[in-house]
Amino acid sequence: MAVKTAIIDKALSEGRTVLTEIESKELIKQAGIDVSDTRLATSREEAISVARQLGFPVVLKIASPDVVHKSDAGGVKLGLRTAKQVGKAHDDMLATISQKFPQAVVQGVSVQKMARPGVEVIIGMSKDAQFGPVLMFGLGGILVEILKDVSFRIVPLTGRDAAEMIREIKGYPLLEGYRGQEPVDVANLEGILLKLSEFVEHHPEIKELDLNPVFAYGNGAVAVDARVILEEGK
Ligand code: ADP
Ligand code: MG
C-alpha cells in the first residue's frame, strides 16, 4: 500500500524530483531513523540565531536542489564554534555557490549540530530494472569510493538479510571495534535497514535514497546527510 506524505506531494506538485537535505532528513525521520536536527536559515542573522538555539559547534551546508554534491561545491562548513564563524561561513558559502552555480536556486543554508565522530557507514536504495527496490550497505569514505566494499539485498528485507548484508562486507571488522575502538551498535544498523526497507516499500515515488554518511556509535547511529530522488507517476 502506498502512503502519501506531504513532503513528497509538495515537491512533485512543484515539479521537483530532487529533495533538499532538509526535506530528505524530514522524510527519513518519518521512517523512524535518527537524523541530525537540521533547520533552514534564509539569512546570515537567521543562521546565527539557529546556531545559538542548537548550540555550538554547528555545521552549515548549502540548501539548494541544484547542488547535489555539497562539499565538492564548497557548500559544507564543519565545526563552526562562534556566531562570527557562522556569519562568515554563511557569506563565503553563498558567494562561492553563486560564482560556481550562477543558475542554482538557493533556498538558504541548512544549520545543524556538529555530530560527534563515529564510524561512517552509508545506506542507500536504488531501483533495479528487474528486481525493483534494492538496499545497499557499506562503510563510508574511501572504502566505498575506491574499494566498492558494499552489499545489496532486494526489498523487502528479512531480519536475516539485514544481519547478513552488514556482516558480509570486507570492512566488517571495523564495526566490531578494530584496534581498541568501541564496537558499533550493529543491531541498531540492522534496525535502520529494516525500517528503510519498509519505508521504501510503502513509498513507490522514491526512486533513489542515500544516507551518506550515517555515523554509527556504540549506542545508536545518526544520519548526518540524506538525499532523496523521486520519480513521477508512481
Ligand atoms: P555532501 O553533499 O558533500 O555529501 P555531506 O552533508 O555528506 O555533504 O557533508 C560532507 C561530510 O561532512 C560528511 O561526509 C561528514 O563527514 C561531514 N559532516 C556532514 N554533516 C555533519 C555533521 N552534522 N556533523 C559532523 N560531520 C558532518
Ligand atoms: Mg554526503
Q: How far is the CA of 1 from the centre of ligand 2 (A)?
A: 30
Q: Where are the beta strands (DSSP E) in the chain?
A: 38-41, 58-63, 76-80, 108-113, 119-128, 132-139, 150-154, 206-216, 221-223, 226-230
Which triple of cell numbers denotes residue 98? Answer: 553563486
Q: Quick one: which atom of ligand 1 is closest to the CA of 71?
A: 3
Q: How far is the CA of 220 from the centre of ligand 1 (A)?
A: 18
Q: Quick one: which atom of ligand 1 is closest to the CA of 120?
A: 16
Rounded-to-integer distance, Cα 36 and Cα 22, Å: 10
Mutational test site, ligand 1, from 66, 72, 76, max ligand atoms within 8 Å of CB: 76
pTM comes to 0.95
Q: What is the Cβ-side half-sphere exposure of residue 156, based on CA atoms within 13 angstroms?
A: 8
Which amino acid makes up residue 80?
Answer: L
| Residue 153 Cβ contacting ligand 1 at under 6 Å | no
Mutational test site, ligand 1, from 39, 61, 68, 71, max ligand atoms within 8 Å of CB: 71
What is the pLDDT at residue 1?
A: 56
- Going by C-alpha positions, the residue among 71, 65, 55, 78 that lies closest to residue 108 is 65
Rounded-to-integer distance, Cα 125 and Cα 136, Å: 6
What is the pLDDT at residue 157?
A: 98
Alpha carbon of 140 to those of 8, 15, 117, 216: distances in Å? 27, 32, 13, 11
Nearest protein CA to atom 23 of ligand 1, as residue: 114
Q: How far is the CA of 13 from the centre of ligand 2 (A)?
A: 26
- Going by C-alpha positions, the residue among 221, 226, 172 that lies closest to residue 199 is 226
What is the pLDDT at residue 89?
A: 98
Angle at 92 between CA 91 and CA 96, to 5 degrees: 120
What is the pLDDT at residue 78?
A: 98
What is the pLDDT at residue 126?
A: 98
Q: How far is the CA of 228 from the centre of ligand 2 (A)?
A: 12
Rounded-to-integer distance, Cα 157 and Cα 212, Å: 20
- The tens-digit pLDDT sequence of the chain (234 residues) is 567 789 999 999 999 999 999 999 999 999 999 999 999 999 999 999 999 999 999 999 999 989 989 999 999 999 999 999 999 999 999 999 999 999 999 999 999 999 999 999 999 999 999 999 999 999 987 767 788 899 999 999 999 999 999 999 999 999 999 888 889 999 999 999 999 999 999 999 999 999 999 999 999 999 999 999 999 877
What is the pLDDT at residue 3?
A: 72
- Going by C-alpha positions, the residue among 137, 118, 60, 69 that lies closest to residue 94 is 60
